[in-house]
Structure 1
Amino acid sequence: MPPTFVAQLLDKMGKKVVIGLSGGVDSSVAAYLLKQQGYDVIALFMVNWHDRTGAITGHCTWEDDAMIAEMVAKKLDMPFHIVDLSKDYKTRVVDYMFDEYSKGRTPNPDVLCNREIKFDIFMDECLKFGADYVATGHYCQKTEFEQDGKMTYQLLAGEDNNKDQSYFLCQLNQNQLSKALFPIGHIDKPEVRRIAAEQDLPTAARKDSQGICFVGKVDLPTFLQQQLEPKTGNVIEVPGEFMAKKKSVEKTPDNFKKLCFAYPYKPWNGKVIGEHRGAHFYTVGQRKGLNIGGHDEPLFVLGTDVNRNIIYVGEGTEHPGLYRPGLFISSEEIHWIREDLKMELGENRDYDVRIRYRQPLEKATLYQQEEGIYILFENEQRGITAGQFAAWYNGKELIGSGVIS
């Protein structure tokens, strides 16, 4: 064996890694690769949700996942433990979701789960086992370098562009990254499946999980009705010609607020064409669930007003109300993974930005003002939604993120 490989192997031997083993193929292969690299690996399964209210499928409960995860641990000769974090998950993720929807905003539970649970509460549990590192099956990568006498950690996109999950980790900090390992970030999904089959892992042919992180695939209105009451209100259609007249605004600092906030629709901007079950159940860009006919093209939600309980809609995928030139992130919601790259007041900087998972990176300019960051895109973006996260990249590196206002 090459001397450098032997040195790396010896360095890893004795280092303890706790991996979040979910019962899926990604974390299973991540665990296998860690074992191959010489780490002392312990498997820890998280129980985060018990309630099945609103679930679309009645099977595949956490008990099923735990059983499969334990089978993988036995196959790989790893100690297996279970930790119940459901109280923390409800308080820090699910309750936050309900609160955001009640305000007419659309949160991203997967980003919250990583920030609040996997790399916080769960990481603390892992450290109780004496872990040097905590590993997950995310498709992303980490590098590090030394500057000014301390280590700086970089969060990079995964090599598989179709599965890159760095966006979901956009709220991590330097301390969390210092302890994190992402063993499959350098390979693609087909290779992960191939390794799992080659090693005869019980998860080799298992389907990927879908829906809300740890809750699963749910009928969202039914799920939200656990705390949010249905409430009949008007659906108002806004003509495309009306919005087109409102969008001839020059991209200058004086116009940031006009460019970066959703247009404040009023009931007289359009006509009533139907009713809905509650404005807090809908989000910008949504098509399904309106159940209103009589149009040549589909209707999409342009905006919601939870105070008046009104939904504003527009006809067609190219309705100008679906598109905005920019967005705003308030100062208290700005998060820098690379704290050394924080922008100064009055500074502007070009980055690549995405506003949802799997969305291609879009060129944009960030403007740091006293009240927050204004992001203006080179091309208008469809479905910018309050409550979601915008993340900015420099090449493959994720630099920072924030909640859209």
Structure 2
Amino acid sequence: MLKIAVGMSAGVDSTTTAKILKEQGNEVFGVTMLLWNGDKRAPLSGSCYSPSQSNMVDECKRYAKAIGIDYYAFDVSDMFQKKVIDYVAESYKNGLTPNPCIMCNSQIKFMALFEAIENHGLEFDKFATGHYAGVKYDEKSKRYILLRGKNLIKDQSYFLYRLTQYQLSKIIFPMYENTKEDTRKIAREYNLEVSEKSESQDFFAGEYHRLFDGDKEGDIINIDTNEVLGHHKGIWHYTVGQRKGLGIAYKEPLFIISLDSKTNTVYVGNKNHTFVNEVTIYNVNWIAEPIQKEFEALVKTRSVHKGTMARVIPIDENTIKIKFLEPTGIVAKGQSCVCYDGELTLCGGIVY
């Protein structure tokens, strides 16, 4: 029997995870991280960073009681502000496109929350969530490895690639082999109230720029002709690859190609500019045993990206050049590229 803490978000995945582990005879308790710090700029509901977190806690308490487990909520809002909100704001102001869920997983859910549980005097052998991914110990490499979820449509390994060996050693993902419908079926069999509930909340409902103070106008420039096509009210209102909502009329569809924070300029171009042949990633995190020579891998540039085969060329322990074997969609600076060998997550890093 293991003592297992289950991260609960009032969704079907995490609630069913808690029930499964309890039925297996483990000593289970539920935990939730409180992220909202009272910031009035946050949306009222629809996200995990909002006043509605109190409703989520009430729901989790009810679900935990029905399952028959203890439940705790821990305030990690100060760390969330520093590691996620400030990171998002600074990234956008510097013309980068951040990925808050990746940062939240590595710095908050599987770090700050761990510490909060331990500081409360609670011990746990393992920490479980409803993520669709897998963790195993590889005897050959003597490392914990991260696997893609068996159902690639729901696979969430992309959001977990920055986890450390210690974090992976503490984690279990019971939903590894499930589809979403599998999970709902299990929830129905256990008569869980949450069985038909919609997907869990996203990080932030609405546009991130609500978190920023002050808009600074600048030019929207055609990257081919250097012609000023219009004006913007702050580069953080835009994301690389965006096509709609530019507020300019042109003879052909235009996409945002890059954001220059130094000149406060939004550069746009036609579809030909949206294909990328190579990128360089930094702050590389290896989950598998580090590879020092060139290799081929499937590379995902976004969570929903099916992946593109590429030559992966390690430059040093923190830097990798990726040369795609066929052009892939535009890759925004600040986003992550994650490399895979079949179901095995090899490594990932951030595009700058």
After TM superposition, the score normalised by the length of structure 1 is 0.81
**Counterpart of 2:304 in structure 1: which amino acid?**
R
Segment of structure 1 superposing worse, 68-77 or 136-145: 136-145
Q: What is the match of residue 244 of structure 2? A: 288
CA contact (8 A) 1:327 1:376 kept: yes
Match of 1:39 in 2: 26
CA distance in 2, matches of 1:398, 1:52: 39
Equivalence for 1:378? 325
Answer yes or no: is the 8 Å Cα contact 1:280–1:306 preserved in 2.
no
Partners in 1 of 2:170 and 2:114 — Cα distance?
A: 9
Residue 285 (structure 2) aligned to one of 335, 353, 377: 335
Range 203-212 or range 115-124, more displaced: 203-212
- 1:27-55 Cα shifts (integer Å, max 9, x gaps): 00111111122111011111012435252
Structure 2 residue ranges without an equivalent (≥5) = none
1:123 and 1:399 map into 2 onto residues whose CA distance is 25
Distance in 1 (CA, whole Å) between partners of 2:51 and 2:193 is 15
**Structure 1: where are the runs of 5+ without partners?**
1-12, 240-268
Q: Please report the TM-score for the alignment, with normalisation by the length of structure 2.
A: 0.93
- Distance across 2 between alignment mates of 1:63 and 1:202: 19
Tell whether the 8 Å contact from 2:44 to 2:51 is kept in structure 1 after alignment.
no
Q: For residue 272 of structure 1, what is the aligned residue in structure 2?
A: 228
- Between the two proteins, what is the percent identity of the paired residues? 31
Which of 310, 324, 328 aligns to 2:265? It is 310
Distance 1:136 1:112 in 2: 16
> Aligned-pair distance for 1:143?
1.6
Whichever residue aligns with residue 286 of structure 2, its letter is W
> Is 1:367 the equivalent of 2:313?
yes
1:219 pairs, out of 207, 214, 218, with: 207
Residue 104 (structure 2) pairs with residue 130 (structure 1): no
Which stretch shifts more, 199-208 or 63-72? 199-208
Q: Deviations over 1:54-96 (max 9, x none)?
A: 5275798101111111111001000011111001100111111
For 1:132-211, what aligned pairs fall within 5 Å after superposition?
A: 132-147=125-140, 151-211=142-202
Deviation at 1:200, TM superposition (A): 2.3
**CA gap 1:158/1:389 in 2 versus in 1, 3 angstroms:** same
Superposed CA offset, 1:95-140 (max 9, x none): 1111111211111000000000111111223344110001111010
Closer, same or farther in 2 for the Cα pair 1:294/1:46, shift >3 Å? same
8 Å contact kept, 2:7–2:30:
yes
Identify which range, 200-209 or 100-109, moves more after superposition: 200-209
Q: What is the Cα-based RMSD across aligned positions, in Å?
A: 1.9
Please report how far the alpha carbon of residue 232 of structure 1 lies from its aligned counterpart in structure 2 after TM superposition. 1.1
State the Cα distance separating 1:372 from its structure 2 match.
2.4
1:235–1:274: 8 Å Cα contact kept in structure 2? Answer: yes
Give the CA deviation at 1:292.
1.8
Are residue 232 (structure 1) and residue 222 (structure 2) matched?
A: no
**Secondary structure, in 3 states, of the residue corresponding to 1:204?**
helix
Separation (CA, whole Å) in 2 of partners of 1:147 and 1:162: 29
Contact persistence 1:355–1:388 (CA under 8 A): yes
Distance 1:365 1:354 in 2: 13
Amino acid at match of 1:138: H
Deviations 1:209-248 (A, max 9, x none): 3432xxx31222223x2x4x21111111234xxxxxxxxx
1:61 aligns with 2:59: no
SS at match of 1:95: helix
Q: Residues of 2 paired with 1:380 and 1:60: CA distance?
A: 43
Which of 10, 13, 35 is the equivalent residue of 1:48? 35
Could you tell me how far apart the structure 2 residues matched to 1:386 and 1:121 are? 27
Aligned partner of residue 44 in structure 1, secondary structure: strand
8 Å contact kept, 1:46–1:82 = yes
Q: Is the 8 A contact 1:328 1:372 kept in 2?
A: yes
Distance 1:210 1:274, change over 3 A: farther
Q: Of the candidates 55, 66, 85, which is equivalent to residue 75 of structure 1? A: 66
Give SS of 2:195's match.
Answer: coil
What is the CA–CA distance in structure 1 between the aligned matches of 2:264 and 2:350, rounded to whole Å?
Answer: 23
Q: Distance in 1 between matches of 2:81 and 2:4?
A: 27
Which range moves more in the overlay, 82-91 or 286-295? 286-295
Q: Distance in 2 between matches of 1:57 and 1:116?
A: 23
| TM-fit CA distance, 1:208 | 1.1
Distance in 2 separating the partners of 1:211 and 1:122: 18
Q: Within 1, Cα distance between the matches of 2:264 and 2:216?
A: 8
